[in-house]
Amino acid sequence: MNWITTGSKHPKQSQQAQDDFKKFLIETILRIPGHVALDDVLVWFQDEARFGQRNTTTRIWAVKGTRPRAVQQQQFYYAYLFGAVCINTEEAEAIVSPLSNMDVMREHLNLISNATPIGKHSVIIMDQASWNQSYLGKEYLNVTILYIPPNSPELNPIEQVWSWLRQHELANRCFVATRTLLIVFVLLGIDL
């Protein structure tokens, strides 16, 4: 037996929808323009996360028998990080924004489209947030959007990036303002 932390599961999650998604249905391949060979398809995982609002405190190394104290954000300053990672090239594209809406999403898709080399086509796998409207992908000839099933964030590996950032880089910190949060990203060497 191991003492481990459980993974969360949304109560409205559909196991059947997840299983179907994992099979990478033929409908997905049919959405890719016919003139693009499958070898020229880049797969991106995209998501957005809010950072800075009521940051978490995490475990730290300390002398046995002591209980150190850590700063925890009390104000409600935050910023959104829109991020995408290409599993073919290991390239990443990101935008930091004080809000999350379709204009920011459009700009993020523009970055991914521009990062897609001529002759290649990008399939972007993302959730169904309200700002991730399917018509946005139709504005780009070299981009196709594929949605993960509702309530299934574990199907998007970029969620692990957010978890790692929260636990290792942004925990036990206090941000004075959103601008400070952006500076912290730069100081941490997180390429934006």
Q: Domains along the chain?
A: 40-55+73-187 (3.30.420.10)
Q: Confirm whether pTM is higher than 0.85.
A: no
Running DSSP on this structure, what letter comes out for residue 145? E
**Which structure tokens are listed for 5?**
């932390």
So what's the pLDDT on residue 154? 82
For the chain, give the longest Cα–Cα distance: 66
The Cα angle at residue 160 between residues 58 and 43, in degrees rounded to 5: 165
* C-alpha closest to that of 31 among 111, 128, 138: 138
* Distance between CA atoms of residues 108 and 83, nearest Å: 8
What does each of the 192 residues of the chain score in pLDDT, given as a tens digit?
Answer: 666 655 666 777 788 787 777 776 666 666 777 777 778 889 999 998 887 656 566 677 778 888 777 666 555 667 788 999 999 999 999 888 888 888 888 999 999 999 999 999 999 989 887 776 767 777 888 998 888 888 888 888 888 888 888 777 776 666 555 454 555 555 455 554
So what's the pLDDT on residue 14? 80
